[in-house]
Amino acid sequence: MTLSAARRPDDDLATTALSALNHVFGLPGFRGSQEQIVRHVASGGDCLVLMPTGGGKSLCYQLPSLLRPGCGIVVSPLIALMRDQVAGLLEAGVRAAVLNSSLSWDEANAVEQQLLAGELDLLYVAPERLLTPRCLAMLGRAEIALFAIDEAHCVSQWGHDFRPEYIGLSAIAEKFPNVPRIALTATADELTRREIAERLGLTDAPHFVASFDRPNIRYEIVDKQSAPAQLKAFIEDRHAGDAGIVYCLSRAKVEDTAATLTKFGIHALPYHAGLDAATRARNQDRFINEDGIVMVATVAFGMGIDKPDVRFVAHLDLPKSIEAYYQETGRAGRDGKPSDAWMAYGLSDIVQQRRMIDESSGAEAFKRVSIGKLDALVGLCETTHCRRDRLLGYFGEETTGTNCGNCDNCLNPPKVWNGSVAAQKLLSCAYRTGQRFGAIHLIDVLIGRVTEKVTQFGHDRLSVFGIGAELNEKQWRAVMRQLVALGHLKPDSEAFGALKLTDSSRGVLKGETEVMLREQVASARPPRGKSRRGDLAPAAATRGTGDAGLFARLKAWRSDVARTRGVPAYVVLHDATIDGIAATRPTTLAQLRGIPGIGDKKLEHYGQELLALVSASDT
């Protein structure tokens, strides 16, 4: 089937869309609301799409671009994503190109001429390039199928990744009123959604909100003790040899963590804005193209990385919001296979994030929203209930309140205890020491530890000295962290590390407010076997289900092809497609064509070689 045939106006749109999905992308059917979105946009409608990472957002604008006359214009701030998606589209036989700062003047001019000549199906453009008078004038002379605004949350000042250049995209509706527009994002709460719709002129357009649930991701948040050692144990125990991403807040911590993992024999690379461009590019390319690389990075890394076989995302520092956490953890398991979202979290994370908000130059309204978002994330960390339900509820999705079977709280339910007396002791200690000291000093006073600082300030003579000897230091740290999370203590923005009482502290001290706390227990290894949601296997069990030897040969062949063609291995074939070949062992082109991920062009390019590999494994 040719792309031009997919555009015949007399065909039934639903049948044509499904046929194009199968012949071009090798997929047997749509997922969720994909078909409804594709038909709506292909018919000329505008819309806002919220769909989780790995949920198939790209098809929602790629297919309508093939079904409508002209070229689909995709606005994206992510050069890496543009490059990888164009490589994948070219492999599938779609005429695609990019227009961004990575091109020379001659290369950009050649792409513009292709567009004007009607030789492109999809063109990816950076927002700052699109808004130049030259580009807008060029688009005015071309036949445009649609405008797709990817990463649409970047337009919102309340979003977690606001980008000023996105504000100007409102001009698209004014200059091209008859061209359908689709805005897409994986992360947006109700406030952010409203701003996206207002700024992009989509207030009257339908909103397609898919479930935010990623049932293949197992969520786990542990009490931060010795983070590097905890991370090492997590990787060695569950993800030895797997690709993963580790997020740290500072560049120095990125460097230290990458070096520590390397010393432990884990293949880790650093990535942050302080590295020179060549090193960043080299490390990113290795992560994308090689198997088993762990990238240790600041949040500068990840957006636009379309690598489907990332088996885990780990956080050694608290993100800024649930939106940021959701988007970053969503880079795991894009292929739908079992994966982990693991985070080590402690009191210092809350203090650090609050201090960053207080010291920021943002307006008071922005600070209030930021504090609210941080409080919601801390609530997710401290909840004793299902983390998945808490996460989905934040995005306004109705949940059942049942055990999801694939988060740490559901797999190993935490115990709670009445910590009202402990809370009173801690709050009294903070008050009587003048609300000028941090966690370490308060704990020293509570457990009766005589230190130079305790005696210097005479705190060994206070009535609260030694009143908390029934708990150890680790337990007091947990009490303190949870009181901050509950809002009964707060970091002092003017005295670094100091903890102060809040208005709600009075109720606790008077015994009017009961304080139930989570009991600190050792992190339990998730049990092997199936989860209750999605019938998933353990996160570590991710190899193909077919013959191990054939699976290995197929991956080696894929690596050779990718290296020769200069594209990531997953652009040639996804792991799921290799799994399908290894499991079904096709002997004819027709059988091979029936495996998801094998479209017409990939069958033409690789069919005989793949059948030869299968045949050789039989001898």
Are 434 and 453 in the same domain?
yes
Residue range 100-125, pLDDT digits in tens: 888 899 999 999 999 999 999 999 99
Are 585 and 609 in the same domain?
yes
Residue range 10-63, pLDDT digits in tens: 458 888 999 999 999 999 999 889 999 999 999 999 999 998 877 889 999 999
C-alpha–C-alpha distance, residues 81 and 65, integer Å: 18
Are 572 and 587 in the same domain?
yes
Q: Is 398 exposed, middle or buried (0-12, 13-18, 19+ CB in 10 A)?
A: exposed
- Match 């939106």 to its residue by tokens: 323
Q: What is the three-class DSSP state of 531? A: coil
Lowest model confidence (mean pLDDT) among 103-117, 242-256, 346-360: 346-360
Are 336 and 54 within 8 A, CB to CB? yes
Q: Which two tokens stand for residue 569?
A: 């291995």
Q: Does any domain span residue 533?
A: no
Q: Is the pLDDT of residue 325 over 80?
A: yes
Q: What is the three-class DSSP state of 339? A: strand
Are 395 and 464 in the same domain?
no
Question: Domains in the chain: how many in total?
Answer: 4
Are 239 and 198 in the same domain?
no
93, 123, 174 from 86: Cα distances, Å: 10, 9, 28
pLDDT computed for residue 5 by the predictor = 37
Q: Is the pLDDT of residue 199 over 50?
A: yes
pLDDT computed for residue 160 by the predictor = 55
Are 42 and 79 in the same domain?
yes
Q: Does any domain span residue 536?
A: no
What is the model's pTM? Answer: 0.79
Q: Is the pLDDT of residue 425 over 90?
A: yes
Average pLDDT of the residues in 541-564: 78
Q: Which CATH number does the domain housing residue 205 bear? A: 3.40.50.300
The alpha helices in 271-382, defined as continuous H runs, are: 277-289, 322-329, 347-359, 364-382
Q: Does any domain span residue 427?
A: yes
Q: Which two tokens stand for residue 495?
A: 């005295």
Torsional class of 52: left (φ above 0), alpha (ψ -120 to 50), beta (otherwise): beta
Nearest CA to 115 out of 137, 92, 90 is that of 137
Q: Does any domain span residue 540?
A: no
Lowest model confidence (mean pLDDT) among 23-37, 227-241, 387-401: 387-401
Q: Which two tokens stand for residue 63?
A: 């297919």
Q: Is the pLDDT of residue 335 over 50?
A: yes
C-alpha–C-alpha distance, residues 533 and 318, integer Å: 27
Last residue of a domain, one of 190, 209, 228: 209
Last residue of a domain, one of 209, 231, 248: 209
C-alpha–C-alpha distance, residues 542 and 196, integer Å: 37
Q: Which CATH number does the domain housing residue 561 bear? A: 1.10.150.80
Q: Which two tokens stand for residue 78?
A: 């992510």
Nearest CA to 438 out of 489, 482, 487 is that of 489
Q: Is the pLDDT of residue 252 over 90?
A: yes
Element (H, E) at 294: strand 294-297
Q: Does any domain span residue 461?
A: yes
Last residue of a domain, one of 180, 209, 238: 209
Are 289 and 387 in the same domain?
yes
Q: Is the pLDDT of residue 495 over 80?
A: no
Enclosing domain of residue 102 = 5-209
Are 17 and 130 in the same domain?
yes
Q: Does any domain span residue 397?
A: yes
pLDDT computed for residue 543 by the predictor = 46
Are 462 and 332 in the same domain?
no
C-alpha–C-alpha distance, residues 187 and 64, integer Å: 23
Confidence of residue 350 (pLDDT cuts 50, 70, 90): confident
Q: Is the pLDDT of residue 593 over 80?
A: yes
Are 153 and 234 in the same domain?
no
Nearest CA to 34 out of 211, 178, 173 is that of 211
Q: Which two tokens stand for residue 123?
A: 């063109």
259 bridge partner residues: none
Are 259 and 326 in the same domain?
yes
Mean pLDDT of the chain: 88
Q: Is the pLDDT of residue 492 over 90?
A: no
pLDDT computed for residue 238 by the predictor = 95
Q: Does any domain span residue 535?
A: no
Q: What is the three-class DSSP state of 372? A: helix
Q: Does any domain span residue 585?
A: yes
Residue range 517-540, pLDDT digits in tens: 988 655 445 444 444 344 444 433
Are 180 and 224 in the same domain?
no
Q: Is the pLDDT of residue 221 over 90?
A: yes
